[in-house]
Amino acid sequence: MKKTIDLLDITKKHKLYTSTSQKVKDIFLRKSFGEDFYALRGVNFEAYNGEVVGLVGVNGAGKSTLSNIIAGILPETSGTVNVKGDVALIAIASGLKGNLTGRENIELKCLMLGFTKEEIKALEPQIIEFAELGKFIDQPIKSYSTGMRSRLGFAISVSIDPDIIIIDEALAVGDKAFNEKAFNKVMEFKKRGKTILFVSHSIKLMERFADKILWLEYGQVKDYGLREDILPKYEAFIKKYKKMSKAEKESYKEKSLRQQYGTDMFAETSK
């Protein structure tokens, strides 16, 4: 098996400001007035060709941040990203332009990916057919439903035949028939040795799709391994988590972050 994704000690840091003046001071005085927040901290992860890896974790765990870093859309703050091949990210808001028609969006996305006009013309019919948009293909996509946009984003991404494909919740909005077609396409990609990263809150989809599970918790890897080893543990956790009150969830988050940052960090920030 060939390693296609290799992430070493990835950190993504954001600055959190409590006021605009803090941000302005930060930019002009080149000193740090904002508070550091780690969307990812020390993440190590590797994936191989022919694998479907499910990315799970509660809201804010860092799933989209990690997906965007692998796709090259977001720069990491530190660490090493090694990705072999072209990556396509399919997300519900996957960079489609609302004022352009479906057809224009296909052309724009393919041009940005380096396809020639002739190659795009050859690809276009199969994208339109896969997306099942019919005459709507010449309408501005701001008139599309979320499901229609998701179908178009999915169709474009699979037609460009990437080596690594990341699906971020995009299958949660389509209709049943389309999701089945999308599932078959993902399985065909897997057979052809591509790596698929699949982000979802659905345990059912994870059971169906994933070979491995990467469980993130507030920016860190909680667990990574074979689906049959990790998913039951995650499912048991999520059942308990869903029953927690808002205050209990907050206190769970604080406890988890305290373990990561150490108690000193919290003493500093609460001053």
Ligand X SMILES: Nc1ncnc2c1ncn2[C@@H]1O[C@H](COP(=O)(O)OP(=O)(O)OP(=O)(O)O)[C@@H](O)[C@H]1O
Which residues are near ligand X by CB under 6 A? Answer: 14, 37, 39, 57, 59-65
Q: 12 vs 190, which CB is nearer to ligand X?
A: 12
Please, are residues 85 and 162 in contact by the beta-carbon 8 Å criterion? yes
Please, are residues 160 and 115 in contact by the beta-carbon 8 Å criterion? yes
Q: How far is the CB of 40 from ligand X (least distance, A)?
A: 8
Q: How far is the CB of 90 from ligand X (least distance, A)?
A: 14
Q: Tokens representing 208?
A: 């169906």
Give CA–CA dist 143/149, Å, rounded.
10
Q: How far is the CB of 185 from ligand X (least distance, A)?
A: 23
Q: 107 vs 217, which CB is nearer to ligand X?
A: 217
Q: List, in order, residues 6 or more apart from 154 with CB less than 8 Å away.
A: 90, 130, 131, 167, 170, 171, 174, 182
Q: List, in order, residues 6 or more apart from 23 with CB less than 8 Å away.
A: 15, 17, 33, 34
Q: How far is the CB of 177 from ligand X (least distance, A)?
A: 26
Q: 12 vs 212, which CB is nearer to ligand X?
A: 12
Q: 117 vs 239, which CB is nearer to ligand X?
A: 239
